Amino acid sequence: MKGLTNVIAAFTHQLVRAAAERGVADLINTSSVAAQSVLPAFAVYAGTKAYVSHLSRNLRAELAAKKVRVSVIEPGLVDTELQNHVGSDEVRAALEGAKQLLEWLTPLDIAETVRFVARLPPRVNLPRITVMPIGQPA
Protein backbone atom coordinates (compact mmCIF):
# COMPACT_ATOMS: atom_id res chain seq x y z
CA MET A 1 0.00 0.00 0.00
CA LYS A 2 2.92 2.35 0.65
CA GLY A 3 3.93 2.13 -3.03
CA LEU A 4 0.47 3.21 -4.15
CA THR A 5 0.53 6.10 -1.68
CA ASN A 6 3.86 7.24 -3.14
CA VAL A 7 2.48 7.14 -6.69
CA ILE A 8 -0.59 9.16 -5.71
CA ALA A 9 1.56 11.68 -3.85
CA ALA A 10 3.82 12.07 -6.90
CA PHE A 11 1.07 13.03 -9.32
CA THR A 12 -1.12 14.99 -6.91
CA HIS A 13 1.79 17.30 -6.11
CA GLN A 14 2.08 18.13 -9.82
CA LEU A 15 -1.67 18.68 -10.12
CA VAL A 16 -1.71 21.04 -7.12
CA ARG A 17 1.20 22.99 -8.59
CA ALA A 18 -0.53 23.21 -11.99
CA ALA A 19 -3.74 24.41 -10.34
CA ALA A 20 -1.83 27.11 -8.48
CA GLU A 21 -0.27 28.29 -11.75
CA ARG A 22 -3.38 28.08 -13.96
CA GLY A 23 -6.27 28.43 -11.52
CA VAL A 24 -7.49 24.86 -11.99
CA ALA A 25 -6.14 21.42 -12.86
CA ASP A 26 -7.96 18.25 -13.88
CA LEU A 27 -7.60 14.62 -12.90
CA ILE A 28 -9.98 12.59 -15.05
CA ASN A 29 -10.09 8.86 -14.37
CA THR A 30 -11.80 6.21 -16.47
CA SER A 31 -13.76 3.53 -14.67
CA SER A 32 -16.86 1.64 -15.84
CA VAL A 33 -20.54 1.24 -15.07
CA ALA A 34 -19.37 -2.15 -13.77
CA ALA A 35 -18.10 -0.24 -10.71
CA GLN A 36 -21.73 0.25 -9.66
CA SER A 37 -23.09 -3.11 -10.82
CA VAL A 38 -23.06 -6.76 -9.90
CA LEU A 39 -22.10 -8.71 -13.00
CA PRO A 40 -21.62 -12.49 -12.94
CA ALA A 41 -18.16 -13.48 -14.20
CA PHE A 42 -16.87 -9.89 -13.85
CA ALA A 43 -16.01 -9.77 -10.12
CA VAL A 44 -12.36 -8.81 -10.53
CA TYR A 45 -13.05 -6.32 -13.33
CA ALA A 46 -15.93 -4.73 -11.41
CA GLY A 47 -13.87 -4.62 -8.23
CA THR A 48 -10.96 -2.83 -9.88
CA LYS A 49 -13.33 -0.33 -11.49
CA ALA A 50 -15.06 0.24 -8.14
CA TYR A 51 -11.63 1.03 -6.67
CA VAL A 52 -10.97 3.64 -9.38
CA SER A 53 -14.37 5.25 -8.81
CA HIS A 54 -14.03 5.32 -5.03
CA LEU A 55 -10.44 6.59 -5.19
CA SER A 56 -11.64 9.39 -7.47
CA ARG A 57 -14.34 10.44 -4.99
CA ASN A 58 -11.83 10.52 -2.14
CA LEU A 59 -9.22 12.41 -4.14
CA ARG A 60 -11.85 14.98 -5.07
CA ALA A 61 -12.63 15.50 -1.39
CA GLU A 62 -8.92 15.94 -0.63
CA LEU A 63 -7.99 18.12 -3.61
CA ALA A 64 -11.02 20.33 -4.27
CA ALA A 65 -9.85 23.07 -1.90
CA LYS A 66 -6.59 23.18 -3.89
CA LYS A 67 -8.50 23.80 -7.15
CA VAL A 68 -7.91 20.32 -8.54
CA ARG A 69 -11.04 18.98 -10.19
CA VAL A 70 -11.34 15.21 -9.99
CA SER A 71 -13.79 13.42 -12.24
CA VAL A 72 -14.44 9.79 -13.00
CA ILE A 73 -16.00 8.69 -16.28
CA GLU A 74 -17.95 5.44 -16.04
CA PRO A 75 -18.78 4.24 -19.55
CA GLY A 76 -21.07 1.42 -20.48
CA LEU A 77 -20.24 -0.82 -23.41
CA VAL A 78 -17.33 0.56 -25.44
CA ASP A 79 -16.03 -1.17 -28.56
CA THR A 80 -12.37 -1.76 -27.65
CA GLU A 81 -9.96 -4.68 -27.67
CA LEU A 82 -10.91 -5.44 -24.03
CA GLN A 83 -13.49 -7.99 -25.16
CA ASN A 84 -10.66 -10.01 -26.75
CA HIS A 85 -9.17 -10.54 -23.29
CA VAL A 86 -12.26 -12.07 -21.67
CA GLY A 87 -11.35 -15.58 -20.53
CA SER A 88 -14.83 -17.09 -20.61
CA ASP A 89 -16.23 -18.31 -23.94
CA GLU A 90 -19.75 -17.82 -22.55
CA VAL A 91 -19.12 -14.19 -21.59
CA ARG A 92 -17.37 -13.50 -24.90
CA ALA A 93 -20.40 -14.89 -26.76
CA ALA A 94 -22.74 -12.73 -24.64
CA LEU A 95 -20.70 -9.64 -25.47
CA GLU A 96 -20.79 -10.50 -29.18
CA GLY A 97 -24.57 -10.90 -28.92
CA ALA A 98 -24.81 -7.48 -27.30
CA LYS A 99 -22.94 -5.98 -30.26
CA GLN A 100 -25.68 -7.28 -32.53
CA LEU A 101 -28.42 -5.72 -30.38
CA LEU A 102 -27.13 -2.18 -29.92
CA GLU A 103 -24.53 0.26 -31.13
CA TRP A 104 -21.70 0.39 -28.61
CA LEU A 105 -19.80 3.53 -27.69
CA THR A 106 -16.49 4.18 -29.42
CA PRO A 107 -13.20 5.25 -27.85
CA LEU A 108 -13.76 8.62 -29.56
CA ASP A 109 -17.00 9.04 -27.59
CA ILE A 110 -15.04 8.69 -24.36
CA ALA A 111 -12.30 11.02 -25.60
CA GLU A 112 -14.95 13.64 -26.42
CA THR A 113 -16.34 13.25 -22.91
CA VAL A 114 -12.88 13.83 -21.42
CA ARG A 115 -12.48 16.91 -23.61
CA PHE A 116 -15.86 18.26 -22.49
CA VAL A 117 -15.02 17.79 -18.81
CA ALA A 118 -11.58 19.41 -19.14
CA ARG A 119 -13.00 22.45 -20.96
CA LEU A 120 -15.57 23.32 -18.30
CA PRO A 121 -15.22 26.70 -16.55
CA PRO A 122 -12.89 26.49 -13.51
CA ARG A 123 -15.84 26.80 -11.10
CA VAL A 124 -17.49 23.62 -12.46
CA ASN A 125 -16.65 20.03 -11.50
CA LEU A 126 -18.46 16.93 -12.72
CA PRO A 127 -17.40 14.35 -10.13
CA ARG A 128 -19.00 11.35 -11.85
CA ILE A 129 -20.11 10.96 -15.44
CA THR A 130 -21.93 7.91 -16.74
CA VAL A 131 -21.81 7.50 -20.51
CA MET A 132 -23.96 4.76 -22.00
CA PRO A 133 -24.92 3.55 -25.45
CA ILE A 134 -28.45 4.73 -26.04
CA GLY A 135 -29.84 1.19 -26.08
CA GLN A 136 -27.93 -0.23 -23.10
CA PRO A 137 -30.12 -0.89 -20.09
CA ALA A 138 -28.85 0.48 -16.79
97: left (phi over 0), alpha (psi -120 to 50) or beta: alpha
Strands, sheet with 25-30, edge to edge from the N-terminal-most edge strand: 25-30, 68-75, 128-131
Whole-angstrom Cα distance, residue 97 to residue 95? 5
The question of whether 51 is a catalytic residue gets the answer no
Q: Per the residue annotation, which of 8, 29, 45, 48 is the catalytic one?
A: 45
Known catalytic residues are 45
